[in-house]
């Protein structure tokens, strides 16, 4: 097949996905490789940066082998990933320690300390982000306090997908939405000096900020040889995974919103103006002038995988089948197993199962996990509406959207029709499209050409009524158990 090919690499929490996109035919090959996560302390969440690079290289090799195309027809590679993971690089652009992931909640003491020296209202208005467990400044202070040797070796702070491009040969940089969510940069890409001064972070540690679709170099000779790509392949800035997943799902008109069922849970909506709210995050759409207010829950698919492991690894399809016939909301689950990000922003919360009886089974508990994540999305949706954001046309994507049961639970809990994006590879597709934007092979509007939908998931009126009552109880349970969670967290620390 003649024409230009483009590669998108998605650095996920538990795996790396690579797609090979043809400029007119769409996706022609995909590869998914798992990567480890580490939790060596209370609320720790870390990754292996070398595994990210190994997976990116192997994923590229696999899609080239599967497609059997001439590698010389590949024009560019772009990367996407979780945000804002913190990768500390030394002067040789090598990681000095494991990356600290965005759902890590270790720096609670540091958040409290910094809240007394950084004006929260100023930070929110100037950066679009409140001071939370996702902010990078508390992580910096934690490193300074607990790992002074690692910190003294740190020259640059970058994100997960930034690092993978740098490892492939790109110049040091950070993508616009890593900058926004880090709390270290303002809405217009300048340094937010109060945060830097609060942790004595030198400006030289902050890289240049680039928008999605910006070319930042070419693949290095050594990586060209390792991947099988030619040395003139362009490296292009992709973006935050939730942003590119929304972009590739067609969320670009005010009122469009997306439920993203990944390792963490993301809800995004398109707006013409930047909506700044302490309960939410704010990201920039690849289309300049469009904004994506959003919520991100600390757990989603990661909680499901934890429960699956806990009960012996039963296949998720079997768990779905068993849970589908159990009574809705028979058990309530608080999904705060890594604290919670939006809209609560409380890293000291902990998970719980409530209402268990001896008659309940693992299927009831599994269903409660699915429902808990849907309740979390509803909580975020309510906050968005209270902030004046319109939510009209809803879509659902990512790995969890393959589950018929989970999609139906979300439609029932949210009380809205959901349109599943068919065979949507998520952010990796968005990255591949932006690789084309960076080389001129594609335009931003071309994302719509690669988009298809399955039949909409319609809410069931009776179950929605059950979930309406259960959701109110769930909110009450969260409020009631918060002080106990805080006490347990203090004891663990």
Interacting residues of 128 by C-beta distance below 8 A, sequence separation 6+: 180, 187, 274, 276, 281, 282
Q: The tokens of 22 are what?
A: 């043809």
Average pLDDT of every residue of the chain: 95
74-81 and 87-89 strand pairing = unpaired
Task: Report whether pLDDT(13) > 70.
Answer: yes
pLDDT of residue 191: 95
Radius of gyration of the chain (CA): 22
Q: Residue 462, SS3?
A: helix
Mean pLDDT of the region 430-452: 95
Mean pLDDT of the region 307-320: 96
Span 191-242, pLDDT tens digits: 999 999 999 999 999 999 999 999 999 999 999 999 999 999 999 999 999 8
Task: Report whether pLDDT(423) > 90.
Answer: no
Percent of the chain with pLDDT over 70: 99
Residue whose entry in the numeric block shows the structure tokens 């398109």 = 270
pLDDT of residue 2: 63
Q: What is the DSSP secondary-structure string of 268-309? A: EE-BSS----TTSEEEE-SSTT-EEEEEEES-SHHHHHHHHH
Task: Report whether pLDDT(264) > 90.
Answer: no
pLDDT of residue 207: 96
Span 378-390, pLDDT tens digits: 999 999 999 999 9
215-218 and 234-240 strand pairing = antiparallel
Percent of the chain with pLDDT over 90: 87
Mean pLDDT of the region 408-432: 94
Q: The tokens of 374 are what?
A: 């849907």
Interacting residues of 145 by C-beta distance below 8 A, sequence separation 6+: 110
Q: Cα separation of 64 and 66, whole Å?
A: 6
pLDDT of residue 440: 96
Q: Smallest Cα–Cα separation from 155: which of 107, 203, 110? A: 203
Q: Residue 340, SS3?
A: strand
Indicate the pTM of the whole model: 0.89
Beta carbons within 10 angstroms of residue 362's beta carbon: 16
Mean pLDDT of the region 259-266: 85
Contact 206, 39 (CB under 8 A): no
Beta carbons within 10 angstroms of residue 94's beta carbon: 15
Q: Cα separation of 266 and 301, whole Å?
A: 11
Task: Report whether pLDDT(398) > 90.
Answer: no
Question: Facing residues of 354 across strands?
Answer: 332
Q: The tokens of 476 are what?
A: 């009450």
pLDDT of residue 441: 96
Task: Report whether pLDDT(75) > 70.
Answer: yes
Task: Report whether pLDDT(3) > 80.
Answer: no
Mean pLDDT of the region 83-109: 94
Question: Facing residues of 260 across strands?
Answer: 266, 397
Q: Smallest Cα–Cα separation from 132: which of 282, 396, 340? A: 340
pLDDT of residue 332: 98
Please give the angle made by the CA atoms of 278, 279 and 282, to the nearest 5 degrees.
75
Cis peptide before 411 (omega within 30 of 0): no
Q: What is the DSSP secondary-structure string of 139-150? A: HHHHHHHH-HHH
pLDDT of residue 133: 84
pLDDT of residue 1: 61
Contact 460, 408 (CB under 8 A): yes
Of residues 99 and 345, the one with the higher pLDDT is 99
């Amino acid at each position: 097949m003649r024409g230009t090919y483009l590669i998108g690499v998605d650095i996920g929490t538990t795996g790396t996905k690579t797609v090979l996109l043809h400029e007119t035919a769409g996706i022609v090959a995909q590869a998914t490789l798992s990567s480890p996560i580490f939790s060596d302390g209370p609320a720790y969440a870390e990754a292996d940066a070398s595994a990210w690079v190994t997976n990116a290289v192997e994923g590229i090799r696999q899609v080239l082998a599967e497609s059997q195309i001439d590698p010389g027809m590949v024009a560019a590679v772009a990367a996407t990933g979780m945000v804002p993971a913190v990768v500390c690089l030394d002067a040789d652009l090598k990681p000095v320690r494991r990356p600290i992931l965005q759902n890590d909640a270790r720096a609670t003491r540091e958040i409290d300390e910094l809240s007394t020296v950084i004006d929260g209202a100023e930070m929110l208005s100037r950066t679009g982000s409140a001071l939370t467990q996702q902010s990078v400044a508390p992580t910096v202070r934690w490193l300074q306090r607990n790992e002074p040797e690692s910190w003294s070796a740190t020259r640059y702070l970058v994100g997960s997908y930034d690092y993978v491009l740098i490892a492939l040969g790109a110049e040091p940089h950070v993508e616009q939405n890593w900058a926004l969510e880090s709390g270290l940069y303002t809405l217009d890409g300048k340094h937010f000096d109060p945060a830097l001064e609060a942790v004595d972070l030198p400006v030289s540690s902050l890289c240049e900020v680039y928008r999605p679709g910006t070319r930042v170099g070419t693949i290095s000779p050594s990586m060209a040889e390792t991947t099988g790509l030619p040395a003139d392949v362009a490296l292009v800035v992709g973006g935050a995974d939730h942003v590119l997943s929304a972009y590739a799902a067609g969320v670009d008109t005010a009122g469009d919103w997306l439920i993203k069922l990944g390792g963490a849970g993301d809800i995004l909506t398109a707006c013409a103006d930047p909506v700044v709210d302490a309960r939410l995050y704010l990201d920039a759409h690849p289309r300049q002038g469009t904004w994506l207010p959003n919520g991100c829950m600390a757990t989603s698919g990661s909680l499901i995988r934890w429960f699956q492991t806990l009960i012996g690894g039963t296949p998720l399809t079997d768990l779905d089948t068993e849970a589908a016939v159990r009574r809705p909301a028979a058990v309530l689950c608080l999904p705060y197993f890594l604290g919670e990000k939006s809209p609560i922003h409380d890293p000291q919360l902990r998970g719980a199962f409530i209402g268990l009886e001896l008659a309940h089974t693992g299927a009831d508990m599994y269903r409660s996990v699915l429902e808990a994540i849907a309740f979390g999305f509803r909580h975020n949706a309510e906050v968005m509406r209270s902030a004046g954001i319109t939510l009209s046309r809803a879509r659902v994507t990512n790995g969890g959207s393959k589950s018929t049961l989970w999609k139906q639970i979300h439609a029932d809990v949210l009380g809205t029709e959901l349109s599943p994006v068919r065979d949507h590879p998520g952010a990796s597709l968005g990255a591949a499209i932006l690789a084309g934007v960076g080389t001129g092979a594609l335009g931003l509007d071309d994302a719509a050409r690669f988009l298809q939908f399955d039949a909409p998931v319609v809410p069931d009126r009776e179950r929605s009524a059950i979930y309406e009552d259960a959701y109110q109880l769930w909110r009450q349970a969260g409020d009631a158990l918060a002080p106990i969670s805080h006490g347990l967290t203090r004891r663990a620390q």
